[in-house]
Structure 1
Amino acid sequence: MGNFDLNDKSILITGGTGSLGKALTKRILSKYPNVRLVIFSRDEQKQFLMAQEFPQEKYPRIRYFIGDVRDYDRLKRAFKGVNYVIHAAAMKHVHLAEYNPMECVKTNVLGAENVINAALDSGIERVVALSTDKAAAPINLYGATKLASDKLFVAANNIKGVNPIKFSVVRYGNVMGSNGSVIPFFLNKRKEGFLPITDKTMTRFNISLDGGVDMVMHALEHAWGGEIFVPKIPSYKITDVAEAIAPSVEHKEVGIRPGEKIHEEMITTSDSFYTYDLGKYYVILPAVTNWSTPEFVQKMGAKSVPAGFTYNSGNNEQWETVETLRELIKEHVDPSFEVM
């Protein structure tokens, strides 16, 4: 990572007990043994379990902090002396958000605003917020709250004044094997003798936890403030996931759930006017920046995408196959995985 060194820095991860939080913790602690790491989340049971995985005896510079992003005062207390914040806390289950809409708004929108204000008031240097493919042209409440959150983090760069803080966003699709995602769900369901498939034409983007961590670290190091970083990642067909996991059991089409799309989108045609190709990633730049876009383009070797460009899991150029999915499940989800 060049001269970007997190040793002797302090990092706080909201939602730090989630799948990505734990993967970030593992990467950061292995690479930067002298970093001070604060795990901020509201679930005491998950913190209790994570503290057994990353005990303070072995990692004396890790701290576990119970708190909710809905609580500004608690955030401000937690942010004291912190350099970087990775905001991964969210309510993310689509159907639960449809049923409990205001709870989702309180965590994902008001929580984002609390993180921004606490960061501005606490001398934080950089904030990277996690987004989702569901925030592009959202049709469900979860996606709508994450779009609002993305807008808040991008616009936070306009209200910082002389404060040198930088806010940026990382947006990607389904994280392979993360809590609540389709692969662990199918691995569990196949024991019952059938796999429920919502719609046979459904596609999704696919990124590994390591790929997700790479993106967050990239944004932490390279962001100028206001960018939404989007990785170039393959898609998969839901039928290929089912075939990879359990070709011999029945695959039953059950219909899509409230708020689900057939294909996910990470960059819409409307975003295309502000979207640049960085080689490994795409980046959506804010319409209003407090830095020079031509200078950014030159320094980053960025190329603008064609007008009307869209990045959609259904018309992606890269695809996982049944074989690659099996390899990935073994590598990233369950080393003892066997086809059933």
Structure 2
Amino acid sequence: MLDNKTILITGGTGSFGHTFVPMTLNKYNPKKLIIFSRDEMKQWEMAKKFQGDSRVRFFIGDVRDKDRLYRALDGVDYVVHAAATKIVPTAEYNPFECVKTNINGAMNLIDACIDKGVKRVVALSTDKASSPINLYGATKLASDKLFVSGNAYSGEHGTRFSVVRYGNVMGSRGSVIPFFLSLKNTGKLPITDERMTRFMISLEQGVDLVWHAFEDMIGGEIYVKKIPSMKVVDLARVIDPDAEQEIIGIRPGEKLHEQMIGQEDAHYTYEYPAHFKILPAINGWSDCKLRIKNGQKVPEGFIYSSDGNREWMSDTELQTWLTANSDQIGSY
């Protein structure tokens, strides 16, 4: 599908982009893969990794700047929207900035993609958009709604929009695994709540989900990958078995458990072997057979949360992943 196509990824110098770009170059042979982001130093560092590959291009810009998006999207076939203000405390203390990027930026991208004739757009979402309790989650819920509705705005222009949603990305910068590793052998690891659970997904699995969305989407679907959960206390124990676990209390805006599908979405949710799909509630799209395909409707009141998960990551599985990814954890 992506062979000989031009792909643009917003926020492409982040952790997702660092995995999406090499995986996509290896699996497909895109005509161009454009990294669109606002940090020139991150682009400079990332460009070194792809020196000599003429398919990889870099474009300085901000999703808040619609004119710059219009220029960047010339000739683009597919877009992955990964740009976001996503650190929960940062969003709480800088709410206007979070809204400008996560909501206004989404609107800018939707308009520009429609006008420029982009074929398909996949936006990255987060577990925090399901039943949000913090500003970051609220802005991402609004963003998800905008991308779903973008399919109605597109009309005969033909641009399709969908969303992928996943939780805690293992080893990404600022996440719990590199945080615990930085404190290994200090004798103490801080735990916000001993009951806390988190979904566990690798960046490679996130990329696979985006590829699947590009191939499967009709427009307006929210894709949720089936992934294992783990208790944070168990995660800490695997990383440093000898450390004392100090309970420090939940931080503002933090959830005890991650949720990716809320009870209110169950009526529109279908299950597949490796993922769930939340179909749009608007325009009768949730009854569209082209969108449903071979899915089975989930039971009424269904919730997909990290504490009620059917699949759990074992200590051995986590240790195997830590060993295999030791040189990449927390690097981007």
Q: TM-score range by the shorter chain?
A: over 0.9
CA distance 1:246–1:292, change in 2 (3 Å): closer
1:114-193 mapped onto 2 (5 Å cutoff): 114-193=108-187
1:223-234 mapped onto 2 (5 Å cutoff): 223-234=217-228
**Which 4+ stretches in 1 moved above 6 angstroms?**
none
Q: Distance in 1 between matches of 2:33 and 2:48?
A: 16
Partner letter of residue 50 of structure 2?
F
- How far is 1:292 from its partner? 7.9
Q: Distance in 2 between matches of 1:223 and 1:17?
A: 25
Mapped contact 2:98–2:139 kept (Cα < 8 A): yes
> What SS class does the counterpart of residue 98 from structure 1 fall into?
helix
> What SS class does the counterpart of residue 316 from structure 1 fall into?
coil
Give the structure 2 partner of residue 25 of structure 1.
Answer: 21
Q: Distance in 2 between matches of 1:60 and 1:290?
A: 44
CA distance 1:120–1:50, change in 2 (3 Å): same
Q: Distance in 1 between matches of 2:328 and 2:34?
A: 30
CA distance 1:334–1:236, change in 2 (3 Å): farther
Give the structure 2 partner of residue 301 of structure 1.
Answer: 294
Q: CA deviation digits over 1:270-291, x for unaligned, max 9? A: 0000000122110000012476
Partner letter of residue 11 of structure 2?
G
Q: 1:52 aligns with which of 48, 53, 62?
A: 48
- How far is 1:32 from its partner? 2.2
Partner letter of residue 39 of structure 2?
D
> What SS class does the counterpart of residue 25 from structure 1 fall into?
helix
Q: Distance in 2 between matches of 1:61 and 1:326?
A: 36
Partner letter of residue 208 of structure 1?
S
Q: Distance in 1 between matches of 2:305 and 2:5?
A: 37
Give the structure 1 partner of residue 322 of structure 2.
Answer: 329
Q: CA deviation digits over 1:51-85, x for unaligned, max 9? A: 11111x1x112111111111111111000110000
Give the structure 2 partner of residue 242 of structure 1.
Answer: 236
Mapped contact 2:279–2:285 kept (Cα < 8 A): no
The CA RMSD measured in Å over matched residues stands at 1.6
> For structure 2, which runs of at least 5 residues remain unmatched after alignment?
none
> What SS class does the counterpart of residue 90 from structure 1 fall into?
coil
Mapped contact 1:197–1:238 kept (Cα < 8 A): yes
Q: Equivalent pairs: percent with the same residue?
A: 56
Q: CA deviation digits over 1:286-332, x for unaligned, max 9? A: 0124768342266x211101110110111111111222211121223
Q: Distance in 2 between matches of 1:49 and 1:193?
A: 35
Q: Distance in 2 between matches of 1:217 and 1:180?
A: 25
Partner letter of residue 6 of structure 2?
S
> For structure 1, which runs of at least 5 residues remain unmatched after alignment?
none
> What SS class does the counterpart of residue 154 from structure 2 fall into?
coil
Q: CA deviation digits over 1:235-293, x for unaligned, max 9? A: 11000110010011222111111100000111011000000012211000001247683
> What SS class does the counterpart of residue 325 from structure 2 fall into?
helix
Q: Distance in 1 between matches of 2:74 and 2:36?
A: 13
Q: 1:256 aligns with which of 250, 268, 276?
A: 250
CA distance 1:240–1:292, change in 2 (3 Å): closer
Give the structure 2 partner of residue 102 of structure 1.
Answer: 96
Q: Distance in 2 between matches of 1:33 and 1:188?
A: 38
Mapped contact 2:221–2:279 kept (Cα < 8 A): yes
CA distance 1:13–1:253, change in 2 (3 Å): same
Q: CA deviation digits over 1:189-220, x for unaligned, max 9? A: 22533211111110011111110000000001
Partner letter of residue 273 of structure 1?
H
Q: Distance in 2 between matches of 1:331 and 1:152?
A: 38
1:279-318 mapped onto 2 (5 Å cutoff): 279-289=273-283, 293-296=287-290, 300-318=293-311
CA distance 1:294–1:85, change in 2 (3 Å): closer
Q: TM-score, normalised by structure 1?
A: 0.93
Q: Distance in 2 between matches of 1:230 and 1:202?
A: 21
Q: 1:10 aligns with which of 6, 9, 13?
A: 6
Deviates most, 135-144 or 94-103 = 94-103
Q: Distance in 2 between matches of 1:232 and 1:273?
A: 18
Q: Distance in 2 between matches of 1:118 and 1:276?
A: 31
- How far is 1:103 from its partner? 0.9
> What SS class does the counterpart of residue 234 from structure 2 fall into?
helix
How many residue pairs match? The answer is 329
Q: 1:320 aligns with which of 281, 305, 313?
A: 313
